Chains A and B, each alone.
Chain A
């Protein structure tokens, strides 16, 4: 009995079993079914799965202006957010990697918004944009605060970017601090002794050395902003006029508000391919750099 129990197969079952069952049930089966559903006209309720071939995909790319629009919004949102998150995150990290007395406190506090979930943050900023800004505007007279932040398409876009960057910048900062800590001090000292000024040190010593962190941070922020859902849901509800509807939100509405599960599944597969391509680019970039170093 004891010998059977300790046999290799038994160990494989005990150690791997729970993981394998969960992986199959919660990831593998749903993902495979999703591909199948995307070729059907399933409404989520009936037992029938009417096969429609590639009609869903055709519809997405030719007739579904809302989806195309949400994709375009998401791309613009991602580009702007990634740039801002990384520039600001790096700047804060750069200063926090100096031997400041308050660096640990500052690091903790800059990270704070990241701890709270997107839904609650969205509602917090709903208050800031609708009530807080108008008070500050009245006091200071600065036009920036008197803008109808959530009411026009252009300002609503920036309203979301501001909140996303506000939330994400601390997270990105933490990675850059770790990256900057790995830059050897003597390298910077040597460059300074050779007469390099601060910006030359930054450009020619620090940037090349933290390149791996930059790749990781750009990837993380790209994927996070590309999947953005919670903030859009709670802050703008995708409005005004669906102008801030992200792809993730468009998929959710298609599947669970309109009950077009087949079409929603097709959109999810398109979404998956885009995220996959981003991931492949990231992995190949990281690999290439590793070879160089």
Chain B
């Protein structure tokens, strides 16, 4: 048994592993060189560092104000993605269970808006954001993320809620549950897998988003991680040792989170595709 496995698949596995080494080598180069001095990098970028220079990290941490950038990004990402999930779960529930012409039209608009690229709303969005004083405002950008994220999330929940049997809600209603309690106590707990998916998908896309913060958060102290990194490269393009440390600091949290939650994330992506 073991022998046939070996003969059949060992070669495939070996080729895939070699491809993977090549595939992940950029991460090695960034990590290894982030501990070197600049001279050592230019001399030889392929070797491991001879002495580990932690100070690259402390310089990077302070010079682009990463603590504040991280705080802002975490707040925006968490409140943004949780808000999208809560708002769109409610709306989707109503659309599925109360099939009126208005609701059908709204769902159609959700689908249609999938074809609208961000660039097509970006310019007037700044005007709208100014009306509500959303510019240079963390709460403001969170609300804009809600607006940009709800349509897709409504579509995701729509397919999911349809598959939930209505009998549960009916029996709860028989027992004297009001509509809001039925939703919150009976329906919402059943939506949990999709809530997790929606929160995860949106968390990664909000965390990684560059363009919206770039045009909405221009005052210093309001920046996100992506903005901080890009200003770093604008100012000190050639200080590779600290620049690489900054890249490690900013990408490591996401990679760690991904490795812990990879099953949910990958399954969530494919679940979305089948329905969407």
State the A residues within 8 Å of B (CB).
6, 8, 11-12, 14-16, 18-20, 22-23, 25-31, 33-34, 37, 44, 92, 95-96, 98-102, 106-113, 115-120, 123-128, 131-132, 134-136, 139, 166, 171, 174-175, 177-178, 216, 220, 227, 229-230, 233-234, 248, 251-252, 255-256, 261, 264-265, 268-269, 271-272, 275-276, 279-280
Contacts and interface: CB of A to CB of B under 8 A. Distances in A.
A102 to B, nearest CB: 6
Given A15-B93, A119-B229, A230-B210, A128 B26 contact: yes
Interface residues of B, number: 89
Contacts, number: 253
A171 to B, nearest CB: 7
Given A95-B12, A135-B44, A18 B226 contact: no
A83 to B, nearest CB: 18
Q: Which interface residue of B29, B42, B95, B207 has the most chain A CB atoms within 10 A? A: B29
A22 B146 contact: yes
Given A27-B113, A174-B266, A174-B269, A229 B211 contact: yes
14 contacts: A12-B94, A18-B87, A23-B113, A27-B121, A44-B123, A96-B16, A111-B262, A124-B30, A132-B29, A174-B266, A174-B270, A256-B215, A269-B120, A276-B116
B50 interface: no
A116 B24 contact: no
Interface of B: 5, 9, 12-13, 15-17, 19-20, 23-24, 26-27, 29-30, 33, 41-42, 44-46, 87-88, 90-91, 93-95, 98, 102-103, 106, 109-110, 113-128, 143-144, 146-148, 150-151, 154, 178-180, 183, 204, 207-211, 215, 226, 229-230, 233, 240, 243-244, 247, 250-251, 254-255, 258-259, 262, 266, 269-270, 273-274
B120 A31 contact: yes
Contacts of B88: 19
A264 B124 CA distance: 11
Nearest to B254: A115
Contact of A255 (B122, B204, B243): B122
Closest 5 CB pairs of A and B: A26-B147, A117-B208, A19-B91, A33-B124, A15-B94
B209 A117 contact: yes
What secondary structure prevails in chain A residues at the interface with B?
helix
Contacts of B95: 16
Contact of A131 (B148, B240, B273): B240
What secondary structure prevails in chain B residues at the interface with A?
helix
Contacts of B126: 44
Contacts of A131: 33, 41-42, 45, 240
B269 A171 contact: yes
Q: Which interface residue of A37, A123, A166, A280 has the most chain B CB atoms within 10 A? A: A123
Contact of B270 (A108, A134, A175, A261): A175
Contacts of B106: 16, 19-20, 23
A15 B226 contact: no
A265 B33 CA distance: 43
Q: Which interface residue of B24, B183, B247 has the most chain A CB atoms within 10 A? A: B247
Given A14-B90, A102-B13, A234-B233, 4 more contacts: A11-B94, A19-B106, A96-B16, A178-B273
Contacts of B208: 116-120
B112 to A, nearest CB: 9
Contacts of B119: 227, 248, 251-252, 268, 271-272
Given A19-B91, A115-B255, A174-B269, A272 B229 contact: no
